[in-house]
Amino acid sequence: MRYVIKLYHFLGGIYFTIGLIGAVALFVIMGTVLESRTQSHLYAARLTYGNPIFAMLLWGFFINILFSATRRWPFQVRHIPFLTTHFGLLMVLGGALIKAYVGQQGAMSLIEGAGSDRIYEANTYAVLLEKKGETSPKLFEVLPSHWNGESRKVVEDLDGLELTLLRHVPHSAQKLRTWVKGDFATIDGLDPIPVVESEEIAEEYKPQGQVRFRGSEARPWDVYAIRTTHVKALAQKLNRQNMHSDKPPGLAIIEDREGAVHMFAFGPYGQVWNQAFQCDNLQTLYAYDDGFSGYAVVAEVPCPTAPNKRLLIDQLLLQLNQATEKHALLSPPLALFQKTCTAHGLDFAETFVAFLDHWDDVGGWLYPGEATLPAEIVPVFQHLEMSREEEGRACEWAVRLFDRMAPELDGGSHVLEVLQKRKWPLMGSLEEALAKEEPGDADKTTRIMTLLTRQIFSAGAMLPAVENEGEVLEDHAKRNARLYSAYLRAYEIHLKTILPVPIADTLKEHSPIETISLETSVIATGQPLPPESKLEDNIPLITLQAKRGAVKEVISLGYDRSASGLKWPVLNGQYLLRFQPKYTHIPYRVRLRQARQINYANSGQAYSYESDLIITDKRTGRSVETTISMNHVYETNDGYRFYMANITPSNETSVKRVQIVVNHDPGKYWLTYPGAIIMCCGIVLLFSMRPYKQR
Amino acid sequence: MKKRSILAMTVLACLTSCGGAPDVTSIPMQEIRGRGDEKHRLSVYRVRAPEGWIRRDPLSGENLNDTTKALCEFIIMEGSEVARIAIHNFPSAKLEDRVPVEAQVARWRRQFETLNAAECETRLQSFSGYSGLYFQGCGRMQGKPTMVLGWVLQLSPEHYLMLSRSSLSSEEDKVNSQMRSDVTIKAVGPQALMEKHKHEIIEFARTFELIEEIPTRA
């Protein structure tokens, strides 16, 4: 009993008080130093303020203050200030202890137009489980005892379902994988395509496969799957490699070192399409059956099925320029045109291609005499010397022959009939071509016309000269253009015949674009990393085994701090899981009407963030409309405080989402505040009551 | 004694300086019913209209399935000048069936005989779960200087899809169908009158919201 009394007096004595103050001071210093070194409040709190020893110190203060007051028994009037102060202190401490044990602090995430009554507690861990067909998900806390202790069952026998924690990693990097999963590129409906590494850009890339996306009759695509750091350079290389009329279209799935996938499609005429799929920010995602059947991304790849005239002409221009630069040997008509252009300071490739394009537009086997030459082409034909003996005479006679034949051909007669009627001397070789012809076959008719033109040119040496009648300069240019067209026809040079691919008679400027729709599933992967010293930055990863009956599945889940990310299907889509903070319900439903950022006048800098809320007490049904902002909180009568924390986006581009911090101190109004008032009163009495005044 | 009084007043002043945000409930919200025939029209929206505005609802018995008819109109009258604020909604069965917001704004532009480009403005808006465009146009309609202030609003795809899920009852389905409709709020009137009440009209539009909270998934 004596020792109990001694202990009682010690616990209420000054020395215990000094010890407690010293210990608290040490904890606070340690907390401050740790937080400044690690930049982590959580780290400091776990070792100091959140430590059970610190809580014991608070209890120590409570006992010390209580015992120091009760030691004054029996109480007298002169004890009133002392007791008042100590009583006030006890109330304040009591309020703090109640808040520590039963108070609430969490964040609420709201989207405009919607509401919530849940607050998510930071740095807590739970698994959200949603069963297919049920509207209310269930939450199961994941405690350190689950990964430190022997019992690893997070869910035990919930309608036969068991969730067992297999592994816990304190920090990881989370990524969404789309077209490339591990070492394979995956497209739904196709076999996985192995991914090759390419750190240096190679001379040539062989496709990893060929795929016909539209059935067995469709044109095959070369498919590449490559991992590299140099995405742009690789894409350029593949584009050049595929830019050839003989090449099939190419589809390249390129993964960079950060895990983002860049999909490219290359056409044989230089067309390029690309779309990027970032692993932490997918623009569009497809959820099947609300996520129970998984998630996917889709790429609409344009199909280069029909050539675009403009593109082809640019291609031709490029080839002619390259030929000119390399001083390539040109066919005689081209050589003549080039010579004339060079002599008169005109660009050969541009002018020649312009003439071919114009001739194709106006039509005709030979350039029609009634057409109007574009201004940029006139100079070359004004100076074109069509005077070489054989070619010149051949051109003249070809023009005359086709002029004579034109009325009958335009009337629908076949070219061979017309020639037979006119007793063409070289019908024999033409009739050989007739044997291969089908009636009405325009292409073959074109070939016969070409052969006819060549026959004239082959006999050029034997043909007499043609007298030119007097003509004006403009007529001379048109006439030369017509003669030159015959020269080109002899060498089968026409826009339709020299473009890279056989095309329809009517070339359209803009071909219709067909697309191929490719889809692949989206999965989440987590890579363990060394834990960060700033604990708030750590993203834990857990691996769970889900079991129901004979069906088992292992799934890894990264921590979703905001609890707004994807939920992942498990057990053939029977359940969805998400690893997230724990939430609790509060007795208020908060609805966000609208949120806004207020800027400084004439500035884009934020001055304040505001949210218009409707807060409904679920117990009474009473609603209050209020606006909270950065410097204005809303507080209910029972101690729930709502603080504005965050708004995104800050502009009006889309519906806004806000984070509101909710704090509940149950003892604030009946313990902490009254205790503080009483303590203040006690202090005033201490300095003003007569027994304590200096005599 | 004097010192005690000063001390007591100081303590009182500190205590009374604590406070939270003020409540905003001075003007009651007015409910607006959605489309359908008279028997089946349900209250779907609410808005706070300034005092002095005259509300005009459709005639009783009128069938409002025709989307060219307004759900509700508010009128501002000053002397012989009248400005009208009409609220329409446009139900849709699927997300893809919704008319682009730009098309509505283009239609409003075409209603002007001449449009003063310098006083024309279109900008993004989002509030109450809707996002869309705000349009301000000044010009001549029927030969008179006229101003139009318009809002074309659509629910975010997330909200639309939540309201498209099958419900427990057909009644709930009807409500959800109206809730996910696109909305237009169009104020038209003489330019001078509209300029005078422009702030009021904008405040009115921004109080527009659904009565029921939009459901969200956990």
Question: Can you give A618-674 as a three-state secondary structure string?
Answer: CCCCCEEEEEEECCECEECCCCEEEEEEEEECCCCCCCCEEEEEEEECCCHHHHHHH
The residue-averaged pLDDT of A259-271 equals: 86
Q: Is the pLDDT of residue A604 over 70?
A: yes
Tell which of B44, B126, B130, B160 to mutate to test the A interface (max A CBs under 10 Å): B126
Pull the structure tokens for residue A2.
Answer: 């004596």
Query: What local confidence, expressed as pLDDT, does residue A34 receive?
Result: 86
Distances (CA, A) of B73 to A152, B89, B98, B100, B187: 63, 12, 23, 24, 9
A500 pLDDT higher than 60: no
Q: Report the sign of the C-alpha dihedral through residues B158, B163, B56, B64, in that order.
A: positive
Mean pLDDT of the A322-341 span: 87
pLDDT at position A513 is 60
Instruction: State the pLDDT at residue B15.
Output: 60
Rounded to 5 degrees, φ, ψ at A526 are -130, 130
Inter-chain contact A653–B124, Cβ cutoff 8 Å? yes
Nearest to A632 among B21, B123, B129 (CB): B21
C-alpha distance from A617 to closest chain B C-alpha (Å) = 15
Look at B4 and A632 and tell me if their CB atoms are within 8 Å.
no
What's the pLDDT at A42? 82
Closest CB to A593 among B7, B209, B216? B209
pLDDT over 60 at A693, yes or no:
no
Chain B (139-178) residues lying within 8 Å, Cβ to Cβ, of chain A: 155-156, 158-159
* Extended beta strands in A19-171, E state: 104-111, 115-131, 138-141, 153-158, 161-169
Residue A116 in this model has a pLDDT that exceeds 50: yes
Q: Which residues, 6+ apart, have CB-to-CB distance to B63 below 8 Å?
A: B36, B37, B38
- For the cut 60, the answer to whether the pLDDT of residue A243 exceeds it is yes
**What pLDDT does A365 receive?**
87
Nearest to A652 among B124, B159, B215 (CB): B124
Q: Do B129 and A688 touch (CB under 8 A)?
A: no
Between A473 and A255, name the one with better pLDDT: A255
CA distance A271 to chain B (A): 30
Using CA atoms of B101, B102, B104, B110 in order, give the dihedral in degrees to the nearest 10.
Answer: 170
A624–B23 CB contact, under 8 Å: yes
- Mapped onto helix, strand or coil, the DSSP state of residue A255 is strand
Closest-approach residue (CA) in chain B for A128: B218
Place of tokens 């509101």: A660
- Comparing CA positions, the residue from B30, B9, B44 lying closest to residue B176 is B44
pLDDT of residue A506: 42
Instruction: Inspect the interface and report whether the beta carbons of B131 and A652 lie closer than 8 Å.
Output: yes
| Closest CA relative to residue A176, chosen from A287, A78, A77 | A287
Tell me if A434 sits within 8 A of A419, measured CB to CB.
Answer: no
Question: Judging by DSSP bridges, how do beta strands B114-115 and B130-141 pair with one another?
Answer: antiparallel
Going by pLDDT thresholds of 50, 70 and 90, the confidence category of residue B167 is low
Q: Do B129 and A624 touch (CB under 8 A)?
A: no
Distance CA A264, CA A225 (A): 10
Reported ipTM: the value is: 0.86
Is the sign of the CA dihedral A633, A636, A637, A641 positive or negative? negative
Q: Pick from B63, B86, B72, B76: which is nearest to B43 by CA?
A: B72
Contacts of A20 (CB under 8 A, 6+ apart): A57, A60, A61, A64
Distance to chain A for B43, nearest Cα, Å:
16
pLDDT recorded at residue A306: 52
The CA distance from A318 to A330, in Å, is 15
Q: What residues does A251 pair with on adjacent strands?
A: A223, A265
CA distances from A190 to A63, A210, A215, A238, A255 (A): 73, 11, 12, 22, 19
| A615 contact B CB<8A | no
Alpha-carbon distance B142 to nearest alpha carbon in chain A (angstroms) = 34
Gap between the Cα atoms of A205 and A290, Å rounded: 41
- In this prediction, residue B22 carries a pLDDT of 45
CB contact under 8 A, A625 and B124: no
> CB–CB of A328/A321 below 8 Å?
no
pLDDT for res B126: 93
Q: What is the pLDDT of residues A612-654, one digit of tens each?
A: 999 999 999 999 999 999 888 999 988 899 999 889 888 888 8
A221-234 mean pLDDT: 93
When mean pLDDT is compared across A44-58, A498-512, B25-39, B80-94, the lowest value belongs to A498-512
Q: Which residue has the tokens 């507690």?
A: A121
Interior angle at CA A682, CA A679 and CA A687, nearest 5: 135
Q: What is the mean pLDDT of residues A482-501?
A: 83
**pLDDT at residue A308, as a whole number:** 63
pLDDT for the residue A633: 92
Q: What is the pLDDT of residues B30-79, one digit of tens each?
A: 999 999 877 778 899 999 999 899 999 988 777 788 889 999 999 999 99
Measured between CA atoms, how close is B132 to chain A, in angstroms? 8
Q: Do B131 and A113 touch (CB under 8 A)?
A: no
**What pLDDT, on a 0 to 100 scale, did the predictor assign at position B122?**
94
Contact criterion met (CB < 8 Å) for A111 and B129: yes
Mean model confidence pLDDT for chain A: 86
Sequence-distant (≥ 6) Cβ neighbours of residue A534 within 8 angstroms: A38, A39, A40, A43
Dist. CA A503–CA B56, nearest whole Å? 65
Beta-sheet pairing, A221-227 with A250-255:
parallel
Residue with tokens 């109206």: B178
pLDDT > 60? residue B23 = no
Place of tokens 């029996």: A74
pLDDT at A509: 46
Cα angle A323, A325, A327; round to 5: 65
Note whether B50 and B209 are within 8 A (CB). no
**Residue type at A441 in one-letter notation:** D
Closest residue of chain A to B168, computed from CA coordinates: A135
Contacts of A688 in chain B (CB under 8 A): 3-4
Within an 8 Å CB–CB cutoff, is residue B23 touching chain A? yes
A382-410 per-position pLDDT tens digit:
888 876 666 788 888 888 888 888 888 88
Torsion of CA A685, A690, B1, B6, to 10 degrees: -30
Contact B21/A633, CB-based, under 8 Å? yes
- Interface with chain B: mutation pick from A655, A672, A681, A690, highest number of B CBs within 10 Å: A655
Would you say A113 and A661 are in contact if contact means Cβ atoms under 8 Å apart?
no
Residue A471 is predicted with a pLDDT of 52
* pLDDT at residue A432 in the model: 75
Compute the nearest-CA separation of B66 from chain A (Å): 27
B203 — contact with chain A (CB < 8 Å)? no
What is the per-residue pLDDT for A504? 47
To probe the interface with A, which of B127, B131, B135, B179 has the most A CB atoms within 10 Å?
Answer: B127
Alpha helices in A326-426 (DSSP H): 332-343, 348-362, 378-383, 389-410, 415-421
Using CA atoms, how far residue B41 sits from B56, B60, B175, in Å, is 16, 11, 9
List pLDDT tens digits, range A419-474: 888 888 888 877 776 666 555 454 667 778 888 888 888 877 677 776 655 555 45
Rounded to a whole number of angstroms, the distance from the CA of A655 to the nearest CA of chain B is 5
Q: pLDDT for B177-204, tens place per residue?
A: 899 999 999 999 999 999 999 999 999 9
Contacting residues for A79 by C-beta, under 8 A, at least 6 apart: A72
Nearest to A239 by CA among A285, A270, A197: A270
Three-state secondary-structure class, residue A257? coil
Name residues 562-601 of chain A within 8 A of B (Cβ): 591, 593-594
Put simply, whether B96 touches A (Cβ < 8 Å) is no
Chain B residues near residue A635 by CB distance under 8 angstroms: 20
**pLDDT over 60 (residue B215):** yes
Confidence of residue A510 (pLDDT cuts 50, 70, 90): very low
pLDDT confidence tier of residue B135, bands split at 50, 70 and 90: very high
Report CA Rg, chain A: 44
How many CA atoms lie less than 13 Å away from B64 in the CB half-sphere?
25
Q: Nearest Cα to A243, choosing from A219, A225, A267, A223?
A: A267
At B159 the three-state DSSP class reads helix
- Whether B126 and chain A come into contact, CB under 8 Å, resolves to yes
Give which of A652, A657, A693 to mutate to test B binding, by max B Cβ within 10 Å: A652
Contact call for B21 and A628, based on CB within 8 A? yes
Q: Tokens 């609603």 identify what position?
A: A623
Pure H helices in A51-79: 52-70
pLDDT at position A291: 92
* pLDDT at residue B21 in the model: 47
Using pLDDT thresholds of 50, 70 and 90, give the confidence band for residue A305. Answer: low
Residue A138 C-alpha, separation from nearest chain B C-alpha, in angstroms? 10
Strands A221-227 and A196-197: parallel
CA A183/CA A194 separation, integer angstroms? 6
- Please answer yes or no on whether A627 and B11 come within 8 Å at the CB atom: no
B53 min Cα distance to partner chain A (Å): 23
Measured in angstroms, the CA of B207 and the nearest CA of chain A are apart by 8
Query: Residue range A477-481: average pLDDT?
Result: 88
Q: What percent of chain A is modeled with pLDDT above 70?
A: 91
Contact B127 A651 (CB under 8 A): no
Mean pLDDT of A106-135: 92
For residue A150, the 8-state DSSP code is S
> Which pLDDT value is given to residue B213?
92
* Alpha-carbon gap, residue B207 to B186, rounded angstroms: 14
Chain B residues touching A629 at Cβ < 8 A: 21
**A414 neighbors A508 (Cβ within 8 angstroms):** no
**HEC assignment per residue over A492-548:** CCCHHHHCCCCCCCCCCCCCCCEEEEEEEEEEEEEEECCCCCCHHHCCCEEEEEEEE
The nearest CA of chain A is from the CA of B68 a distance in Å of 26
Q: A538-570 pLDDT, tens per residue?
A: 999 999 999 998 999 999 999 999 898 899 999
Find tokens 């997330």 and name the residue.
Answer: B158
> Which of B129, B209, B215 is nearest residue A655 as measured by Cβ atoms?
B129
CB B92 within 8 A of CB B181: yes
Considering only CB atoms, which chain B residues are within 8 Å of A655?
126, 129-131, 156, 158-159
Residue of A9, A45, A48, A55 lying closest to A26 (CA atoms): A48
Longest dimension (CA), chain A: 151
Does residue A692 have a pLDDT over 70? no
